[in-house]
Structure 1
Amino acid sequence: MKNDKSFDAGPGVRMHDDASVTELADFVEKAVEGLHRVGPDGTILWANRAELQMLGYRWEEYVGRHIAEFHADPSTIDHILTTLLSGGALYDQPARLRCKDGSIKRVLIHSNGHFEDGELRYTRCFTRDATERHERDVALAQRDAMLLNAPVAAALLVGPELRFHLANRRYCELVDCSDLKGKTFVEAFPQVQGSAVAEAIARVYRSGEAFNEEELALTVAGADGVAQERFFRLSLEPLLGADGRPEGVILVQVEVTEHVRNRQAIERAQREREQLLVDLSAASQAKDEFLAMLGHELRNPLSPIVTALQLMRMRGDGSHGREGEIIGRQVDHLVRLVDDLLDVSKVTRGKIELKIERVELAQALGKAVEMASLLIEQRRHRLEVEIAPGVLWEGDPVRLAQVVSNLLTNAARYTEPGGQIRLQARRDGNDAVVSVRDTGIGLAPEVRGQVFDLFFQGKRSIDRAEGGLGIGLALVKNIVELHGGRVEARSEGRGLGSEFVVRLPLQRGAGMLAPALAAAPLLPAAQVAPQRVLLVDDNADGADTLGRLLRAHGHQVEVYYDPVTALAALERLRPTVALLDIGLPVLDGYQLAARIRATDAGRDCRLVALSGYGQEADRERSRACGFERHLVKPISPDDAARVVAGGERSA
Structure 2
Amino acid sequence: MTNVEQRTSSASVLLVDDTPANLLVLNAVLKPLGARLVEAKSGTEALEAIRREPFAVVLLDVQMPDMDGFEVARRLRQMEHGREMPILFLTAIHRDEVYARRGYATGAADYITKPFDADVLRARVKAFVDLFQQREEVRQAQVALRTRERDEAVRRLVAFERIATAALDAEDLGVLLKQLLDIFLGAADAADSAMVLLREGDELKAHAVVGLNEEVDERFSVRIGEGIAGQIAASRQPVEIVDASKSPDVGSHWLRARGTRGLYGVPLLYDGEMVGVAHIGSTRASRFSDAEKRLFTAMAERAAWAVARHVKRSRLHDVLSKAPALICIVGGPDLRYEFANPAYRALFGGRELLGTKLADTGVDREIIDKLRHVLRTGETVASNETAITADWRGDGERETRFFSFTMQPMRGRGDESVLLFANDVTAHVRARRELEAHQAERAQVLERERIARAEAEMASRAKDQFLATVSHELRTPLNAILGWAVLARPQAPPQLDRALAVIERNARAQARIIDDVLDISRIVSGKFRLDIGPTNLTEVIQSAVESVRPAAEARGVELSITIGEVGRMLGDSERLQQIVWNLLSNGIKFTPKGGKVALEAASAGPNVVIRVRDDGQGIDPAFLPHLFEAFRQADGSTTRRHGGLGLGLAIVKQLVQAHGGTIEAASEGNGKGATFIVELPSRSIPTGSGADGGHDRAPESAAISTENVRLEGLRVLVVDDEEDARMLLKRVLEDRGAVVSLAASSEQALDDLPQFRPDVLVSDIGMPGTDGYSLIRSVRALPSEKGGRTPAIALTAYARVEDSQRAFAAGFQRHVPKPVDFGRLVSLIANLCGIPLG
Structure 2 length normalisation: TM-score? Answer: 0.33
Structure having the higher helix fraction is: 2
Work out which of the two has the higher radius of gyration on C-alpha atoms and give 1 or 2. Answer: 2
